[in-house]
Chain A
């Protein structure tokens, strides 16, 4: 099945994006920011719709928009006086609604919506693959270089702050990378499903392992394996790839739950 160039592109970009999602996801899930991924994917959907309607280059327009919203969401999530999850829900619903209205005003509810919502393997271009490679290298480099600092910031922000770590810098880095990953990933995985790439591998790994390092490694492995399995199933039965990957993730997660219980 890899004789098709689009499948090669989908595999390369998909493996890299899932790996990034899983690594970032461990931090996001542990910091209780799981919903941010969901919110960002909906914002990304809205931004893409607007970009297509106005004739902008889709990625060039949506990447800055999503990065800005990522900062905004992160600020909001850390705000003591705001109702964070409600605020995120409001934001993602609004972005979704804006996107749909814009699409129906311009091209009509065609396959575009379908593609954005549920993804398509055909959506990955050569540019996307190049971007995915660059992004994934950035995320991996970040993880290796700042592994201990990210651990400290994830585990205990106030302690890290008190010992002079630049917590806000690391949080911003985390949100920028998450935003980029989501914008890239959602064209293939779809806005509805991309956030599960962030959440599932981390949850699965947390069921099975007790040290942070093992959780990070396991999440990466699970994400890549599930993506490959999902892609293969999607190719064999011509189903949307986002859904099959999520189902593979779900199956592994349930297996991990059982295994965790059995111990």
Chain B
């Protein structure tokens, strides 16, 4: 297909699952440069599995996932869910952010001057420059998320993939994070793929929505989603999908 050239990620008729047991079937959607895709759905519907497939950590059961050439060799900015072990990890913000360059570093021992200045720039974008020498474990949840986001920016220029980024953040910090993502998306042209439970605020900035349910899936623009049966249920009830 000729459009595969322009898309960052293209899932074509993909089935996902573990040990031959499909969780999701015949999924088709795409992420273009500058897109903002929200992946929503109930717990256990396969959102995390989908993310693992998009990152190339899990092969799909069938169908294919086409990545743009610029995304090969792992140039994806991934923001995973925080683990318990990280919360008391002794590392400076600087060490954490620089580790985002690992995939581009090859076998050189030191980070290059260009990488260091790029890291500083990314920290500047996220407003964490003054945290540079602070210890990661002493930061607030929101600050930690920014640090991890800066690391993700160091790893990739075109695509950010976020797994439930606002888990554990207080509402103000969550708001901040959404603003930052919107800024990165609209000003920097960074494509964003975000799995979230927090439908209402996430939908404000989303351009496209992928809803995964046990009975099927929906992919379309935000307006289309709000008119779809799944989206309508959310709009009328104001409930969390």
Contacts and interface: CB of A to CB of B under 8 A. Distances in A.
A58 B147 CA distance: 49
A32 to B, nearest CB: 5
Secondary structure at chain B's binding surface: helix, strand, loop or mixed? mixed
A211 B91 contact: yes
Nearest to B94: A211
A212 B95 contact: yes
Contacts of A149: 102
Residue with the greatest number of chain B CB neighbours at <10 A, chosen from A31, A145, A163, A165:
A163
10 contacts: A32-B84, A32-B85, A156-B99, A159-B80, A160-B102, A162-B56, A162-B78, A162-B161, A163-B78, A210-B135
Interface of A: 30-32, 144-145, 147-149, 151-152, 155-156, 158-165, 205-206, 209-215
Given A30-B85, A155-B86, A162 B80 contact: yes
A159 B78 contact: yes
Contacts of B109: 144-145, 147-148
A206 B90 contact: yes
A31 B91 contact: no
Contacts of B230: none
B89 A155 contact: yes
Contacts of B134: 210
B158 to A, nearest CB: 14
Interface string B92-103: 100110111011
B102 A148 contact: yes
Contacts of A151: 91, 95, 99
A215 B90 CA distance: 7
A114 B10 CA distance: 64
Interface in B40-90: 55-57, 73-76, 78, 80-81, 83-86, 88-90
- For chain B, the bracket of interface size reads 35 or more
B85 A31 contact: yes
Contact of A158 (B78, B98, B135): B78
Nearest to B134: A210
B57 A152 contact: no
A163 B103 CA distance: 6
Given A159-B78, A162-B55, A212 B103 contact: no
Given A31-B85, A165-B103, A210 B90 contact: yes
- 9 tightest Cβ-Cβ pairs between the two chains A and B: A164-B74, A210-B135, A162-B78, A158-B80, A163-B103, A212-B91, A163-B74, A162-B55, A211-B92
Nearest to A149: B102
A161 B56 CA distance: 9
Given A30-B89, A158-B81, A163-B74, 12 more contacts: A31-B85, A148-B111, A155-B91, A156-B83, A159-B155, A160-B102, A162-B161, A163-B75, A206-B88, A209-B90, A210-B135, A211-B95
A106 to B, nearest CB: 43
Contact of B86 (A156, A163, A211, A213): A156
Contacts of B88: 206
Contacts of A205: 90
B116 to A, nearest CB: 13
B86 A152 contact: no
A165 B102 contact: yes
Contacts of B73: 164
A163 B101 CA distance: 9
